Chains A and B, each alone.
Chain A
Amino acid sequence: MVDQSAVGRSFTPVTARVEPGRLRYFLNTLGEQNPVYRNADAARTAGFTGMPVPPTYLFCLEMMDVDDPFEMFSALGIDLARVLHGEQSFIYHAPVLVGDTLTFRPRVASVTDKKGGAMTLIGIRCEVTNQDGVHVADTARTIVVRNEVAS
């Protein structure tokens, strides 16, 4: 079981490029028709200097470009089959645009046992910066681990 010793642990920073083709695949999968994500003129009219990404896409970028997408789970000894996503948040500081190269720096912020140890909640926080060193966003997620309970 994951315990307090995991708090503060950080993982390999992830560098991700915002590629137009992969973004289009995401937009098509979601049936996203908003011109602000698909048309350069619409994006400019909406106040962007390039094409922006949808609000949850930061989460995808981190997973797409990581060398080992489940590094955190293996490092902490968590079985993927026992993991659920509990919470997710994004704080946006500056636009993220197609062509940007982002760096994600994830770390364990908290570990909390629930229901007498039947579940462990792991809080992961991640700072996101772009190629110019601009702090564009902060993300946070809570991972729920369903622990094996002796019967």
Chain B
Amino acid sequence: MASADIKAGDRIVHKVFPPITRHTLALYCGASGDHNPIHVDIDFAKAAGFPDVFAHGMLVMACLGQALTDAVPPSKLRSFATRFVAITQLGATLTCEGTVTELFAEGGERRARLALTTRDDRGEVKLEGSAVVAL
């Protein structure tokens, strides 16, 4: 990221992830410590009224975080927030994007606010969020 040239409207984050598989969900269950069976046990998910298991919101946010720190060094990240808009289904191919919305000064440094989204391959928004990064 060439921080001197950055301006509102610039899309600086863009990454596409491979489809989410049951295997990913099983691995993430262990890797994240989130053992809620609703993400890995189809019997539990069905009993809870869902047609199948579905992705952990935090797995989707982790993808967005990865896309973010591909573009911005982690030492520059000041805050990161998301709203989980819709459940992410198995097989979803996620696209994570971030656009600069504002440049400002805070904490004695120049900062940029980014608007973030994660969409699936049908264009449905899964996550909507924002981040503040130092320039």
Contact = CB atoms under 8 A, between A and B. Distances in A.
The 7 closest A-B pairs by CB, nearest first: A64-B33, A89-B81, A63-B33, A81-B48, A55-B65, A85-B57, A29-B31
Interface string B50-94: 000000111101110110111001110111111110010000000
Nearest to A65: B33
Contacts of A86: 83-84
Contacts, number: 118
Chain B interface category by residue count: 35 or more
**Interface SS of chain A:** mixed
Contact of B81 (A25, A66, A88): A88
Given A34-B70, A54-B69, A56-B62, A87 B82 contact: yes
A46 interface: yes
Contacts of A87: 81-84
Interface of A: 22, 25-26, 28-32, 34, 36-37, 46-48, 52, 54-56, 59-66, 69, 80-92, 95
A124 B43 CA distance: 29
A92 B79 CA distance: 6
Contacts of B28: 29-30
